Structure 1
Amino acid sequence: MHPLILHHWHRFLGKVHRARIAFLSKGFRQSLSRARSGLGPSRLGARIPIEEQTCGAGKPGRPQLLFIDGTTPSPDRDSGSLRLFTLMRRLVDSGYAVDFLPDDNRAAGRYTADLMAAGIGVIAIPDVPSPSSWLRENHRRYRAVVVCRYHLARTWFPLLRCLPDRPRLVLDTVDLHHIRELREARVRGNRALARAARRTRKWELAAVRDADTVWVVSPVERKALLDEVPGLSVEVIPNLHESKAGVPPHENRSGILFVGSGRHPPNQDAVDWFVRDILPLVRRKLIGCQAHIVGEGLVPAGAESYGLVVHGHVEDMTPLLESCLVGIAPLRYGAGVKGKINQYMAHGVPVVATTCATEGMQLQDGLDVLEADTASAYADAIIRLHNDPVLWQRLSTGGGINIDRHFSFESALPSIHRTFGTPAAPRT
């Protein structure tokens, strides 16, 4: 099949498959609401005018990289966007030239402006010429093309692989989608979702095999891929954060904080479980304890009757991160690395999390996190942190050390250099 036909065919199949996953996970009404929420002004702007595109933002002689994702990253709205934006910005600062291509060809207001302000070229492929024509004319400028998520790799890799002197092809998995979907199917006992997840696995592993290098976010997912595809070139590029100094102490804080986008099914399930089974146990011992729920489209069942503070999207999380006493991640399924845990720890907020949520984060129960997988154990851990300032401080300090050791840009540099090579000089 011609690469351009394959490009559009895989795009169509991917959209149908992801719509089916959403339907099986959320139901018709919620999946439709989710689709509409993804088409708001911040997500779907006008096409990027060709005359306003910037391309090749780096200085001559710098290794030039092209990143492709579905939409322009919105780092204040989801963990994947924050990771991508931070990575591209730090690559520019470290001496690489970086361009970003949104697969939807849409401008995203201030998010597009923020990329350009960080020295990242923002480009879009016009309707004419075709994507394959644009790649033939421009691919030689790039040392590597990083395509985010398996379904985009399935559309873009066929076009890139047929080019002479093609760039290195990197698949950034973000998380292993098939693992997350299979876990959700088990939790829900949903056989149809399990069948769809097995299709995701087939396609995701095909994209993995088609890449020159695969990025994962944790050593656990690296091992999972190598078990499936021995000899694969796999690098760990984690979430990227910086630990904050001057963390407000235990005595100046109160309450519980959950952060997560409602468009991500594990978050809605986690909040519903917390509100239904955990929070009532907490309030037997901590009468009046407030629980703050932050996230676009995240509305817990029975929020009003439980007295939750539901914030929706919050652009600046700093006030909540500096005033809440405990960050929670009661996820019952998922994959990858949990950005909410990174965010809590970077701000010195101790975390109570399930073992599913801490997977691959190189955390130790009692040292830099409290782990609990039942409602009673989870409630007890939250109560302990409220009542034990010494334990609170130990976890607050340990979380910051974990961020510096495993989730800083410096910790990712060896993997970055193995993927792209070393730039000639840092940015001046």
Structure 2
Amino acid sequence: MNVLVVGYVWPEPASSAAGYRMLALLDAFRDQGWTVTFASPAEKSIHRANLPARGINEVNIALNCSSFDDFIRVLQPDLVMFDRFMMEEQFGWRVEKHCPEAIRLLDTEDLSCLRHARHQACKHSGEVSLTVGPDLLFSDHAKREVAAILRSDLTLMISRAEIELLTSTFKVDPALLHYSPFMLPPLNRKETEQLPTFEQREHFLAIGNFRHAPNWDAVLWLKQSIWPLVRQQLPQAELHIYGAYPPPKATALHNPKQGFLVKGWAEDAHEVMRKARINLAPLRFGAGLKGKLVDALACGTPSVTTSVGAEGMADTDTWPAPVADDAEAFSTTAIALYRDSPQWRACQQQGFELHDRHFQFQRHADALISRLNLLRADLEQHRLDNFTGAMLRHHTLKSTQYMAQWIEAKQRK
């Protein structure tokens, strides 16, 4: 099969969970012997993955430009995957026009309309926002994203909680959705046994790309409300904060006297996480699955997070860490886990089991490839069954097409 992936950004596996999840999807395609091309209009960063070394072709493409039409007419992909709904809006109509038989696959990474709605709710309340009302959820952002899902033949969802939201609240046909969480190699038990012990570890860690709004909000909440409470009880403890692209407003929070250390970019996120005793992820809003929590499972580092952070990670009775949604409860929980060796070891072992039970690469890769093969064999009927999607392509698709053509014509002047 000839696969084209239209990327919102070039994958940066060391910068974000979205980056290494994208690489896992690309590897799943390549493992089938499929030809894979990754194309993006974004600028290439120094932290991007070396795709050619993985046998993946790289192509730069332009927004609102008919050069993409020429490119895709020659490539003639059998499958096109759009990285987030904005890429489907921009290029979906061009793919349908020039490669009508190609499967159109959408990867949401997370349900961004839910993340945005929770962000707005958090701004109003200042509290953890897991549940939001229809006034915030049914936004223009949601209409665009759900429309892209309906126009696509299949959409990859990283969280079962978001699948439930789409099917129950937005009434999306389950036949259009596929559960595809993080896909990771199984843990090596000999290596996990050699990880630093409770006694060999010290201090707290928080990690996350600073360009991602929930991560920056978490850093501020730590600084203003949570960490002062922790330091009252653990005056020698330190909080080491890592993340790609720290802005000056973040580095300005660095304060050694308070034990609040903004470290910035980590060359090896797993290395710094293995040294920490506790991973803190006080996320007041967000969506999808949290890569920092999955990384912590692999590193044997117990986490303290919120209900937003724990959402979709596991069944409520198997999530191997306490959950707290206000600053006082969060700090109390973090302090207790930091001091309690038996509880810490129990959380670590539950984390190892959860990692291999929920995020095994081969199981999820096989399920995805099987779903795509079934879809390819029955694509015509699948599209006939999705009348709403056909209707949206008939009307909405034309508006995005004409807007793109208008922008292109204007740029020629």
TM-score of Structure 1 vs Structure 2, range by shorter chain? 0.7 to 0.9
Aligned to 2:7: 69
Task: Give the TM-score of the pair, scaled to structure 1.
Answer: 0.77
Distance change >3 Å, CA 164–CA 116, structure 1 → 2? closer
Q: Distance in 2 between matches of 1:90 and 1:151?
A: 23
Match of 2:118 among 155, 170, 183: 183
Q: CA deviation at 1:420?
A: 2.4
Aligned to 1:225: 166
Distance change >3 Å, CA 248–CA 95, structure 1 → 2? farther
- Return the letter of the residue paired with 2:71: W
Q: CA deviation at 1:164?
A: 4.9
Q: CA deviation at 1:70?
A: 1.8
Q: CA deviation at 1:293?
A: 0.4
Number of equivalences:
353
Q: Is the 8 A contact 2:183 2:362 kept in 1?
A: no
Q: CA deviation at 1:392?
A: 0.7
Structure 2 gap ranges (5+): 126-134, 375-413
Mapping 1:14-413, distance limit 5 Å: 63-104=1-42, 106-109=43-46, 111=48, 114-125=50-61, 130-139=67-76, 142-189=77-124, 198-227=139-168, 228-232=170-174, 233-242=176-185, 243=187, 245=191, 246-295=194-243, 296-297=245-246, 299=250, 302-304=253-255, 306-364=258-316, 368-413=320-365
Tell me the C-alpha RMSD between the 2 structures: 2.4
Q: Is the 8 A contact 1:266 1:333 kept in 2?
A: yes
Q: Is the 8 A contact 1:236 1:415 kept in 2?
A: no
Q: CA deviation at 1:396?
A: 0.9
Q: Distance in 2 between matches of 1:200 and 1:261?
A: 23
Q: Is the 8 A contact 2:198 2:277 kept in 1?
A: yes
Structure 1 gap ranges (5+): 1-62, 423-428
Secondary structure at 1:111's aligned position in 2? coil
Q: Distance in 2 between matches of 1:111 and 1:364?
A: 35
Deviations 1:183-239 (A, max 9, x none): 11111129xxx8798111111111111100011101111111222133241001112
Deviations 1:60-94 (A, max 9, x none): xxx22211112211111111111102321243234
- Return the letter of the residue paired with 1:122: E
Q: CA deviation at 1:149?
A: 0.7
Q: Distance in 2 between matches of 1:165 and 1:185?
A: 38
Q: Is the 8 A contact 1:67 1:148 kept in 2?
A: yes
Q: CA deviation at 1:413?
A: 2.5
Secondary structure at 2:22's aligned position in 1? helix
Aligned to 2:378: none
Q: Distance in 2 between matches of 1:302 and 1:124?
A: 38
Identify which range, 303-312 or 359-368, moves more after superposition.
Answer: 359-368
Q: Distance in 1 between matches of 2:317 and 2:246?
A: 31
Q: Distance in 1 between matches of 2:140 and 2:53?
A: 40
Q: Distance in 2 between matches of 1:394 and 1:86?
A: 29
Q: Distance in 1 between matches of 2:88 and 2:6?
A: 9
Deviations 1:128-152 (A, max 9, x none): 961112222222xx22111011111
- Return the letter of the residue paired with 1:130: S
Q: CA deviation at 1:276?
A: 1.4
Q: CA deviation at 1:336?
A: 0.7
Q: Is the 8 A contact 1:89 1:120 kept in 2?
A: no
Q: Is the 8 A contact 2:121 2:136 kept in 1?
A: no
Q: Distance in 2 between matches of 1:221 and 1:345?
A: 22
Q: Distance in 1 between matches of 2:261 and 2:287?
A: 27
Deviations 1:231-255 (A, max 9, x none): 2410011123343533221010011
Q: Distance in 2 between matches of 1:257 and 1:149?
A: 30
Q: Distance in 1 between matches of 2:312 and 2:358?
A: 10
Secondary structure at 1:395's aligned position in 2? helix
Q: Is the 8 A contact 1:363 1:369 kept in 2?
A: no
Q: Distance in 2 between matches of 1:367 and 1:222?
A: 19
Q: CA deviation at 1:119?
A: 1.3
Q: Distance in 1 between matches of 2:44 and 2:217?
A: 32
Q: Distance in 1 between matches of 2:344 and 2:254?
A: 28
| Percent identity for Structure 1 against Structure 2 | 27
Q: Is the 8 A contact 2:282 2:305 kept in 1?
A: yes
Q: Distance in 2 between matches of 1:400 and 1:177?
A: 29
Q: CA deviation at 1:300?
A: 6.9
Q: Is the 8 A contact 1:241 1:346 kept in 2?
A: no
Q: Distance in 2 between matches of 1:339 and 1:82?
A: 9
Q: CA deviation at 1:387?
A: 1.4
